[in-house]
Structure 1
Amino acid sequence: MEHIQKMHNEIEEWLKEIVPFIKSAISKEVTIETKRNRKDLVTNIDKQVQDFFIRKISDSYPTHTIIGEESQERTISDDRKHVWIIDPIDGTANFVKQQDHFCILIAYYENDIGKLGYIYDVMNEDLYYAIENKGAFLNGQRMSSPEEISLQEGLVSADIRDWVGKECLKRLAEESFDIRYFGCGGIDSIHVMTGKFAAFATSKAGPWDLAAQLVFAKELGLKVSRFNGSPLHYLDHGDWILCNKGAFDDLLTILKVC
């Protein structure tokens, strides 16, 4: 574990270095481009932050594999001894439109085992991190596993853009306490991790959207899966759930038909 602690210390230093740059960029002109559609945004800041982390990781660990959301090459070989996964700004639309509710996501895996996960809430300057078998932490203070919440009593964060007109959305609205959505999977996940939400569910995700959260889920006793209940792999694309144990079975019953 000595090398894991070394990595953790480095990541904390990298975050301290890059976060002031991100916050200062809010008051400057940002170059905005679209990816899949007009609502799927990427900025020059996303790309510069990702380049920063790739440079730092490559300098310290030149043989490691790095997957970034804004990279042209997103595939990975069968050699997965050391894999880093980065979302430089999760919630880019929020960064552009609100200057709030966006975060940095970083995960490190060895031989497909999640060792480190990070969610940095930029505007609140809150660093959430999880270390395999050591626990999850907020600004250095150990986090407790959230108390069990039933679906009936819990708020559910759901990216429902692909669910409009479907029975699953109607049932979710009826059977949960209510529905919320921040538009940033990392921020939504924090609310599940801290017990403010019962669950977060989305139909569209990539490894950069979920790899860090899987490390937290293990340390905090949260449930993760695909909508059909099958296990979730950190390199998966598509639908996934992060859920409080008390709401998991009822939520799956709804989402299996979504």
Structure 2
Amino acid sequence: MSTLSPFEIQEIDQTVLMWLDELQKATMAAMNQHLDVATKHDARDLVTNVDKSNEQTINKYIRKFDPDAQIVSEEGFGDKPISMAGHVWFVDPIDGTMNFYKQHDDFAIMIALYIDNQPILGWIMDVVNNIVYHGGPQMGVFANQLRLYPPENDALNQGIVLLSGARLLYGMFGYDEIAKSALGYRVIGAAGPSFIRVLRGQAVGYSSKMMSWDFAAGQVLAKTLGLIVSDIDGKQLDMLSSNIVLVATNRAHRDILALHRS
């Protein structure tokens, strides 16, 4: 893997932050206007004109900034890489489209850069509050300009766990037992806001079925803060496929794997 200098890391980070600043303004303006809403796989899987517009904008910027890179993005304007060789960017233009459309809250814009399958930088923008959680192993993790530090290593029974509502409802992957064993449980309905709560120590863990654009940025930031990221069986995530993702403190991760296996 080609090693990026601290200057190059800083340049990439600041460039993406400029993109996100522009997208935040456009997304907030569009949210209060008429939205063109369609369904994808089912009635709960929504896509809006803002999802598509944001993705086209981000992908255009990436192709100009890093022309040899490949892009994995949700709405079909990216590439379909068969390996993680070289620069691979992940783009989720509106994470939590249902929340965006119905709640006007708890949604995010997410971008991540991996080089030769190694996490380099991630960005999760809390659009409504205009906070970008960003960074990576070479620079640490920040909420805008405020450095974040590793959260307390609490066990599952000491904190709140965030879970996929649909899979909790049907008792899949041991989620029902995980919810019962936690101090409390919540369903947010979006990956980015859920990752943010774990990064900030507001939850000890989060698990859901996700595509790579859902977890790529969160994995960069979580691992940088010493959190454990794996699939529900404790294995490394496949960056080019869907996974049952688990991010948690070390102790909560151990507790959740034990419950899932039992």
With the length of structure 1 as denominator, give the TM-score of the two structures.
Answer: 0.94
Which one of 176, 195, 199 corresponds to residue 205 of structure 2? 199
Matches within 5 A, 1:32-71: 32-71=37-76
2:244 maps to 239
Counterpart AA for 1:226: D
Long gaps (5+) in structure 1 = none
The structure carrying a bigger helix percent of its residues is 2
For the aligned residue pairs, the C-alpha RMSD in angstroms reads: 1.6
Cα distance, 1:225 vs structure 2? 1.0
User: Deviations along 1:108-158, whole A, 9 cap, x unmatched?
Assistant: 011111111000000011110022222111111210100111111110000
1:213 maps to 218
1:148 maps to 153
- My pick for the range that moved more, 172-181 or 81-90, is 172-181
User: Deviations along 1:69-113, whole A, 9 cap, x unmatched?
Assistant: 111666313362011100000000000001111001100011111
Counterpart AA for 1:77: I
1:178 maps to 184
Counterpart AA for 1:11: V
User: Partners of 2:110 and 2:78 in 1: how far apart?
Assistant: 18
Moved over 4 A (4+): none
Say if 2:223 and 2:229, in contact at 8 Å, map to a contact too: no
Count residues in correspondence. Answer: 256
Counterpart AA for 2:110: L
Percentage of matched positions with identical amino acids: 32
Matches within 5 A, 1:1-150: 1=5, 2-71=7-76, 75-78=80-83, 80-150=85-155
User: Partners of 2:181 and 2:54 in 1: how far apart?
Assistant: 40
User: Partners of 2:170 and 2:52 in 1: how far apart?
Assistant: 36
User: Partners of 1:161 and 1:135 in 2: how far apart?
Assistant: 34
Counterpart AA for 1:38: A
With the length of structure 2 as denominator, give the TM-score of the two structures.
Answer: 0.93
1:225 maps to 230
